Structures are given as C-alpha cells and as structure tokens.
Amino acid sequence: MEIIEKIKTNKSIDNLTEIQKICLNKLQSSPLPNPKSEQWRLSNKSKFSNFLNYSVNEKDPIFDIPFPKTSQSTIRLVIGDNCQTNFIEENFSIKQISEDKLVKYIKEQISYFDQNENWSDLLNLSLNCTKNILGLKINGSEIPPIEIFSHASSNSLNAKTLVIFLEKNCDIDLLQVNLGKDNSSLSQSTFLCLEENSSINHGVVSYGENKSNLLNSLNVIQQNNSEYNLGSLHFKFNYARFEIRIKQSKGNAKTNIKGMQITKKDEQISTFTKIDFHGPNGFLDQINKSLADDKSHAIFEGSIIVPKIAQKTDASQLSRNLLLSNLAQIDTKPQLEIIADDVKCKHGATISQLNEEELFYMRTRGITLTEASKLQLSSYFQEIISFIPVSQDRWDLLDKLLNEN
Amino acid sequence: MVNENLVKDVVKEPYKYGFVTDIETEKIAKGLNEDIVRLISQKKEEPKFLLDFRLKAFKKWQKMKEPDWAALGYKKIDYQDIIYYSAPKQKEKISSLDEVDPKLLETFDKLGIPLTEQKKLTNVAVDAVFDSVSIATTFREELAEHGVIFCSISEAVKNHSDLIEKYLGTVVPASDNYFAALNSAVFSDGSFVYIPKGVTCPMDLSSYFRINSGDSGQFERTLIIAEESSSVSYLEGCTAPMFDTNTLHAAVVELIALDDASIKYSTVQNWYAGDEEGIGGIFNFVTKRGKCLGKRSKISWSQVETGSAITWKYPSCLLLGEESVGEFYSVALTNNLQQADTGTKMIHIGPKTKSTIVSKGISAGKSINSYRGLVKMGTKATGSRNYSQCDSMLIGDQASANTFPYIKSQQPNSEIEHEASTCRISEDQLFYLQSRGIEFEEAVSMMVSGFCRDVFNQLPMEFAAEADKLLALKLEGSVG
C-alpha cells in the first residue's frame, strides 16, 4: 500500500502543514486501523487495501457531474481550487474561517481522537493540503440552500475536508455531495459545530461510479437547543464507509437521522454511528435502512451512549434491512450503553425481504410483479429521500434509485 | 425523590448460602501443567481416549489468549494459583446414600436440596456436585426403569464410555474458546443424562453445584443427550461460600437433541457475588451450547442469573435440523459491583428453523449488566425466523445497562426482528401502588416480578417461585 509506505516515511518531506505533521505523527506508530477492533472487524480487507492503492492526487480533478446545474436559488461550492468563496462573502453572511482559527479548531479536535475510531479523519487530515480544506462560518437565517461538492478523479486518491461553524440562531439547509469516479478513492471528513439555537437540515448524498471507493466521516458537535437533521444516501460504491459521530455537548439538543445505503454487485457499504449524550434532555430519532442485492454486503453499527449526566434522554434507533439475494449479506448491530436511569431508550432491528403478502395483494389488483416490487421499494426509499434537503425539487434521486433497482 | 434510600435498602439482603462446610477434603497441589492433567485423569481412572481429549485440549489452551472483548473488568486470573481437583474424603465406593458423610448431607439440607430420598414428594431427581466430585444422585432406580441414565459424568465414563466417546466435545469442541479449552483439560465432574428413544423423562432432573473450598476452581461438565422423540426438563442450581478471594468457575454444558426431541434447561445461578466493595465472589465463565441435530427438535434455555462477581455466559443453540426450535429466556440481575456480560447465540443453519430470545436485565448499585447476543441466518436457513426482545431496568443512576445485539443474515427468505428498551421503576408507579396500601418493598418487588414475568413463566414451577423470591431478596434496599 503506497500511501501507508508514504505515511511511514513522510517525516523527511518539507512543506507539510502543521496539521499534517500532527496526524502523520499519530499515524506513524500504527498506520493502519486494528482489523480486529469492532469498527473495522467486518471491513473487507482487499477492498480496503484497494482504497489505499491509489496515489494521492493534489491537482484538482475536472468537475463534471451528472447532476443539475447551478441555479439562482442555491449556493454551490466545490471543495478545492475552484472554490468561489469571495462571491459568497460579498452577498451572504458566510465567512471563510481564517487559517489560524481553522488550524486551532482542527488541532483541538485531533486531541480527542481515538486512533481506531478516528482513523479515517487522521488519514484525511494527514493527506490534505490547505487548499482542500474548506472552512465556513455561517451566520443569520436568510441563507439560501447550500450545495457543497467533493469529487475524486480516476486512478487517484483525493482528500477533502469541510469545517462549518453555525453561529447562534442560524438556520440553514446544506446538501453535501460526494462523487466517486471510475477507479478512484475519496476521503471526505466533515466537522460541523452547531452553536446555541442553531439548526441545520443536512443532506449527504454519496454517488459512486464503477469501482469507486469512499471513506466519509462526519463529526458533529451540538450545543444547547440546537437541532441537527441528517438525511443520507450512499450508493454505487465498490467500498464505502460512512462514519457519523455526534456529540450533544451539553444536552438539550435534538438529533434526527435518516440514512440509507444500497449495495449491489459485490459492493460493501457500511455505516457506523455513535451518538454521545453529554447532558440532560437530549433527543434522538434515528432510522437506518440498508438494501443488499447480488453478492453485496451492507453493514450498520450504531451506538448510543448515555452517561450518568444525560438524564431525561429520549433516544430511539431503528435499523431496517432488506436482503434481496441469496448471496448478499447484512450485518447490523444497534447498541445501547446506558448509565443514567431516568431515560427512554429503545432500539430495534429487522432483516427481511419484500413483503410477500403486499406483493400478492398488488398482483391481484392487476399490477405486475416488477411494478409491485418497484412500488414497495419506492415507499421504502421515499421515507429517507424526502428527508434529504435541497434534493427534492432539483434532484430526482428516487427515479435514479428505482431505475437502477 | 421517593424513598431513594429505602429502595436502596431493599437490595441489600446478605448472602445466606455463604457458610463453609468443615469437611476433610483431598486436594492436589496448586498449578496447572500436563502432569496435573494426567493426575486428574488418573485419579478418575479414565480410559485413554479421555486422557487424550484432555491433553489435546490442554495443548490448545496453552496457545490461546484469554478473551477481552466482553464489557467486563476484573483483575487478572492467575491460573497457576488454583487447585484443579478437590474432593471430600469418603469411602471409595458408595452403595447407598446412608454412606455419604452426614456433614455433606447436612450441607445440602441447609441449601434446601432434597438429597435424602425421604423427600420423594418433590419428585425431582438430584445429582449433587461438591467441589470437584459428584457425591450423590437420587432416584436412579426409578429412572433406570424408564431407561433414563442420570449419573455423574465420571460414572458415565466408566459405565457408558461409548456414549461419552461419541458425543463429548461434539457441541463445544475443546478449541471453542479459552475457557472451554481449560474446562476440557481439567474438568472434574458434572452430570450426564441420556434419554432413550420415545421416552418422556418421568420427573425433572436436577443438578446442584456447590463450591466449598476457597482456593479450588470448579470445572464441571454436563452432557445431555435426548434421542428421537424424547423429552426432558433439567434444572441447575449453584451456590458457594463467602470468601474474600475470587474463585474461578469454568463449566461446559453440551446438549444434543435428535429428531422430535426436546430439552429444557433451566438455571438459577446464585454463586457468591462478593461484598458491597466488590471483594470476593465467583468468576463465572461458562460455555453452554445445544445442538438441535434432528428435525423438529427443540432446545430451550431459561436462566435466572443473580450471583457471581463476573458472569460471562452465552447459552446458545445450533439449529441444524429442519424446523428445529431454539429458545432463550433470561433474567440477569446485577447489584453492587457485579458485572454480567450475558446473552445468547442463535445460529440458524437448517431450513424453517425458529428462535425466540427474551432477555431481561436489571442493574442496581454500581453494577454493569450487558446483553450480548448473536443471531445468524446461514445461507440454507430458508423460511427461518427469529424474534428477540431485550429489556433493561435501571435502578439508581450509577448502574449501567448495555445492549449489544449482533445480527447477521445471509438468507433473504428469512426474518429477523429485534427490539430493545430501557426503563426504570418510576415514581408514579410506586406512588400508585403505595396509595393502594401496598408497602414500598412489596411494590418494588411486584414491579420487578412483573418486568420478569415473560421469563418466569418459562421456568419450572418450583424454580419460578424460588426465582421470584431470590430477586426480591437480592433487590432489597436498592431501588430509588
């Protein structure tokens, strides 16, 4: 693995940023995550090493997407060279975070990192030069929806980082799109900090191509009375990991998550979530759906941590899975770790195939089996897709999914 | 706050089985090596195949590492500081119960175990295991009339060595895990049950395990074989004296059910749990597994876990036979500094297999109570179903309740459902019951018992009553 070799020897190279140096230092002692640890146990080893096989591309790939063009009503940003932040700074209350502040914040985050759990972030930050880190400070509530793109180029590994501070009383819709290319790897790390009374509708859509790989990690810190709504969709990646870590730092915050991953062929897509309640009166409603077809493998692991301080927490987590083929497999592990006693916590998990009775009913009404399956799938998808902001009017995600299934 | 201290007081009942029987015992030297394994085998006059089995297991154990994935923290066990064989001294061969040391009989009497056959009314046959050896088995003749074999495993090795050779280690192989390998190398005694074809065992069978010495570990092994169309209900109870050292208990239980056979295995585990500061108590590392080999066979585990400082136990079912059924009903109560990591594994291999898991965890004091379970649907398990339900009850804000369900499916034509919830004894409920003239402690006990009802309903009658009482006693003083 070329990258790991590079990490091991990179110390001698000059002009590394301070953050790169810190992360490389951390990685040098154990450059790879422990394959026996809970977070990496099920990860397909050959696919993972394939992810690391591409060399790092610091040049900016050509931005060419299958999705709609910019419109007047949304702000579009592409992480990398072409990022036109000047224009936004002039027109909206969005500021780019100064490099000093960005470095200070990221350094603070790194100090909390766990080598295994945050391995994806460490890798991302150690590969990333400054131009691929976008830091924004957003203020006010009259802000149009924002679309932020991260994209990879064929035969290389691209690393992109996004840091967003949402100031007090701010309210935004944000859609993040990760685009994979043929034979490519994309490492995307996102850090969101929601200040008091702020609220964000966050969508994450990761759309790959043939043999594209993705390591996507999302770190969210929520202050008092903030509301975080996340709708996510991952599909068409040969290998993808989506790691979500949310910390309600003082409690009294609301988190809603609706996520979905769709695997076909011999793909492996996994979602790991860790929700940490660090104060009382926290709320969580989470649903994660997986659909596995052909020879693919879908994984979900979600943990909810409720320490003593987090009294009156109300958390629920549901993992719903559809297994559509004899050769596909699904692993799911929703878990609760609770110490506070005055809490309402529950989780559930189901694995099944399409409901036969419902299919039969539709067929007796003259709907063909293919159409009936499509109808069922569309209702299965719709719950998640309708939760992804911005996409609804402009992006026909549902059609895309249905046509491919 | 409603009577916080009062509820805490409800859980503080002293351990009443903590006495030591002063009896002369025969012990071998501390430590574990190949010679000790040979010595144990020699003392038990075992055939060669069993010695080989032990030596092979010992070699494997030496290469293995103690597992550390469970949510348990305990001081390192020094395996060389344990006596691996300890037996009460008595005449070489006992022809009837009258020849058993009266002190031993007295011990079991104190524990409420009907060893003397005057207590026939209870209609339960008992095999009593004291430290490393089985001292008595009751009702043998009556059982023999039906062709049922119920004896200690050492006797079975002598009298039914063909069955032992055929089945021992087929469900839990010696290399299965660290503690199973240790047990396979040094197991001293345990029970053996064989139910012939078409026989419904005329009475409940029961084993009672008692650890008496503080420095010897207990490593018993149980093997139950139910032939075609037979059925049996087996009960298991455990107690130990109070010592301020930790005693190791590493048992292996293997169940085999052939076509249409059914085995019901119930446990009330009440090993000494250590004191309030967490000093002493049994380290309980148990491997229990059943193999539903035959078509329509059924294995049902029910357990009430209240004792032990550390519990590491996952009674599981391998569902191989078509339409076989696995069940797991569990109540695990932890208090003070107890730690329990317990659950089950349901491995669906054959088609149309079904499993049900109902687990209730109650954590009080500063204890840690985790449910860890695996449900796996193999590629051939078409039309299989699983339903799991894990509920936790938290008493006080220092105890922790964890749920770790691992679910894996490779068969689209199967269904898995899992749900888990957490609750506590609410002030409203307590207030309501108290306003109806029910005393506080009784109210707590009622609510705990209601919480556990789904499991208690599965226990044999007398066990259910005992379990209910046991929980009430254990919880005395801890709700708040």
Return the minimum-mean-pLDDT range out of B24-28, B43-47, B194-198: B24-28
What is the Cα–Cα distance from B306 to B273, expressed in whole angstroms?
8
Q: Do B404 and A335 touch (CB under 8 A)?
A: yes
Does B397 reach chain A within 8 Å, measured CB to CB? yes
A·B CB contacts under 8 A: 111
- pLDDT category, B242, cuts 50, 70, 90? confident
The DSSP secondary structure of A273-317, one letter per residue, reads EEEEE-SSS-EEEEEEEEEE-TT-EEEEEEEEEE-TT-TT-EEEE
Task: Write the burial class of residue B96 (CB in 10 Å: 0-12 exposed, 13-18 middle, 19+ buried).
Answer: exposed
What is the Cα–Cα distance from B115 to B122, expressed in whole angstroms?
11
Q: Which residue of A has its CA nearest to B427?
A: A342
What is the predicted pLDDT for the residue at B85? 85
Q: Do A333 and B417 touch (CB under 8 A)?
A: no
What is the predicted pLDDT for the residue at B217? 82
Average pLDDT over residues B245-255: 90
Choice between B341 and B208, residue whose per-residue pLDDT is larger? B341
Whether the CB-CB separation of B84 and B219 falls below 8 Å is answered with yes
Query: Residue B115: is its pLDDT beyond 70?
Result: no
What is the Cα–Cα distance from B132 to B217, expressed in whole angstroms?
8
Does A229 reach chain B within 8 Å, measured CB to CB? no
Q: Do A346 and B397 touch (CB under 8 A)?
A: no
Does A357 reach chain B within 8 Å, measured CB to CB? no
What is the Cα–Cα distance from B164 to B54, expressed in whole angstroms?
13
Q: Do B422 and A335 touch (CB under 8 A)?
A: no
Residue A156 C-alpha, separation from nearest chain B C-alpha, in angstroms: 33
Q: Which residue of A has its CA nearest to B376?
A: A331
What is the predicted pLDDT for the residue at A394? 61
> Token digits for A120?
């994806």
Strand B345-348 to strand B415-424: parallel, antiparallel, or no bridges (unpaired)?
Answer: unpaired
- Interface with chain B: mutation pick from A264, A270, A339, highest number of B CBs within 10 Å: A339
**Residues of chain B with C-beta less than 8 angstroms from the C-beta of A328:** 410, 412
What is the predicted pLDDT for the residue at B28? 83
What is the predicted pLDDT for the residue at B316? 95
- Cα torsion at B408, B414, B416, B417 (round to 10°)? 160
What is the Cα–Cα distance from A208 to A210, expressed in whole angstroms?
7
> Token digits for B180?
């199973």
Strand B339-342 to strand B149-152: parallel, antiparallel, or no bridges (unpaired)?
Answer: unpaired
**Residues of chain A with C-beta less than 8 angstroms from the C-beta of B400:** 337-339
The DSSP secondary structure of B193-232, one letter per residue, reads EEE-TTPBPSSEEEEEEE---SSB-B-BEEEEEE-TT-EE
What is the Cα–Cα distance from A230 to A227, expressed in whole angstroms?
10
Q: What predicted TM-score, i.e. pTM, was given to this entire model? A: 0.87
**Residues of chain A with C-beta less than 8 angstroms from the C-beta of B422:** 336, 338, 343-346
Question: pLDDT of B65-101, one tens digit each?
Answer: 999 888 888 888 899 988 888 877 654 445 555 666 6
**Residues of chain B with C-beta less than 8 angstroms from the C-beta of A331:** 406-408
Facing A353 at nearest CB: one of B412, B421, B424? B412
Does B429 reach chain A within 8 Å, measured CB to CB? no
Whether the CB-CB separation of B368 and B354 falls below 8 Å is answered with no
The DSSP secondary structure of B18-86, one letter per residue, reads -------EEEPPBS-SHHHHHHHHHHTT--HHHHHHHHHHHHHHHH------SS---PPP-GGGSBS-E
Question: pLDDT of B41-56, one tens digit each?
Answer: 998 889 999 999 999 9
Facing B409 at nearest CB: one of A311, A343, A351? A351
Does B355 reach chain A within 8 Å, measured CB to CB? no
What is the predicted pLDDT for the residue at B442? 85
Residue from B76, B70, B74 nearest B402 by CA = B70
**Residues of chain B with C-beta less than 8 angstroms from the C-beta of A293:** none
**Residues of chain B with C-beta less than 8 angstroms from the C-beta of A332:** 407-408
Facing B379 at nearest CB: one of A326, A345, A346? A326
Tell me the three state secondary structure of residue A249. coil
What is the predicted pLDDT for the residue at A230? 96
Query: Residue B10: is its pLDDT beyond 70?
Result: no
Residue with tokens 């179903």: B385
Q: Do B412 and A324 touch (CB under 8 A)?
A: yes
Does B401 reach chain A within 8 Å, measured CB to CB? yes
Q: Do B392 and A338 touch (CB under 8 A)?
A: yes
Does B414 reach chain A within 8 Å, measured CB to CB? yes
Kindly give the confidence (pLDDT) of every residue in chain A, 405 residues in length, as a single tens digit, with 9 standing for 90 and above. 566 776 666 554 567 788 888 888 888 878 889 888 888 999 999 999 989 888 887 666 666 666 666 666 788 888 876 666 666 776 778 888 888 888 899 999 999 888 888 999 999 998 887 778 889 999 877 888 898 989 888 888 889 999 999 999 999 999 999 988 889 999 999 999 999 999 999 999 998 888 899 999 999 999 999 999 999 999 999 999 999 999 999 989 999 999 999 999 999 999 999 999 999 999 999 999 999 999 999 999 999 999 999 999 999 999 999 999 999 999 999 989 999 888 999 999 999 998 889 999 999 999 999 999 999 998 898 899 889 887 666 667 777 777 776
Report ipTM for this prediction. 0.85
What is the predicted pLDDT for the residue at B93? 47
What is the predicted pLDDT for the residue at B44? 87
Facing A341 at nearest CB: one of B397, B402, B408? B397
Q: Which residue of A has its CA nearest to B408?
A: A331
- Rounded to whole angstroms, what are the CA distances from A378 to A354, A397, A403, B292? 12, 11, 11, 40
Whether the CB-CB separation of B351 and B380 falls below 8 Å is answered with yes
Q: Do B407 and A347 touch (CB under 8 A)?
A: no
Average pLDDT over residues B329-352: 94
**Residues of chain A with C-beta less than 8 angstroms from the C-beta of B4:** none
Residue A119 C-alpha, separation from nearest chain B C-alpha, in angstroms: 20
What is the Cα–Cα distance from A139 to A238, expressed in whole angstroms?
38
Which residues, 6+ apart, have CB-to-CB distance to B112 below 8 Å? none
Does B409 reach chain A within 8 Å, measured CB to CB? yes
Tell which A residues from 286 to 345 touch B, by Cβ distance under 8 Å: 308, 311, 321, 323-345
Residue from A118, A147, A115, A149 nearest A132 by CA = A149
What is the Cα–Cα distance from B186 to A299, expressed in whole angstroms?
40
Tell me the three state secondary structure of residue A383. helix
**Residues of chain A with C-beta less than 8 angstroms from the C-beta of B416:** 349-352
What is the Cα–Cα distance from B172 to A288, expressed in whole angstroms?
36
Q: Do A348 and B418 touch (CB under 8 A)?
A: yes
- pLDDT category, B119, cuts 50, 70, 90? very low
Does B79 reach chain A within 8 Å, measured CB to CB? no
Q: Which residue of A has its CA nearest to B394?
A: A341
Q: Do B419 and A346 touch (CB under 8 A)?
A: yes
Greatest alpha-carbon span in chain A: 71
What is the Cα–Cα distance from B295 to B369, expressed in whole angstroms?
35
- Interface with chain B: mutation pick from A296, A336, A350, A373, highest number of B CBs within 10 Å: A336
Query: Residue B480: is its pLDDT beyond 50?
Result: no
What is the predicted pLDDT for the residue at A23? 87
Facing A348 at nearest CB: one of B397, B401, B419? B419
